[in-house]
Amino acid sequence: MKNLLLVSVLLLSVVSYAQWETYEYKDEFGDPTGNTFEVFQVVGLFSNSVAIDEDCGFVFKHDVGEAYTVIIYPYNRTSHERFVEATFQLLKIKTANGVEEVEAFVSRKGEIYFGRDNYTALHNIISSPGEYTMLMNYENNYYDSKYIVSFTIN
């Protein structure tokens, strides 16, 4: 019970307000292409065999109508997460209406990718203003890590 209370207090203290910012893609010469994407950054927590509830940066990228990508930065540093293998993982997203689950592809470069079939599922969950908490337990034959981030979309 004490652990549950501690985790709840930690989560409440790390809720971030997410504001999508729009950027424009550039070609190989640095010229704007006219195609845009949206980004927001938040800080959550991660745990694994050597870290417990350490800061973790999350960069959410939205290619409107196509894909969402979430890039994970352990310890909230500039180097992204590295996984032993690329896998599909089930993520849980807590909303005001309950908990939703959506599968995503997790790359070896620490990117959670929601494309094609699962883009619409995630978009339907987080497209409205509100408070959200996303949880991923990355599991494979070698180790597991837990990532959790709370954010409010205005």
DSSP 121: H
Report residue 69 as tokens: 């990508």
Tell me how far apart the alpha carbons of residues 85 and 107 are, in angstroms, rounded to a whole number. 7
Residue 119 sits at φ, ψ, to 5 deg, of: -60, -50
Q: In angstroms, how far apart are the furthest CA atoms of the chain?
A: 57
Q: Within 13 Å and on the Cβ side, how many CA atoms surround 16?
A: 19
Report residue 10 as tokens: 């930690």
Tell me how far apart the alpha carbons of residues 76 and 82 are, in angstroms, rounded to a whole number. 14
Helix (H) or strand (E) holding 140: none
Q: Return the SS3 of 109.
A: coil
The pTM of this model reads: 0.84
State residue 19's pLDDT score. 84
Tell me how far apart the alpha carbons of residues 60 and 149 are, in angstroms, rounded to a whole number. 11
pLDDT along the chain (154 residues), means of 10: 39 58 96 95 95 96 95 95 93 96 95 93 93 94 92 92
DSSP 49: S
State residue 17's pLDDT score. 64
State residue 3's pLDDT score. 41
DSSP 81: P
Q: Where are the beta strands (DSSP E) in 11-143?
A: 16-18, 21-26, 32-47, 54-63, 67-74, 87-95, 98-106, 111-115, 130-139
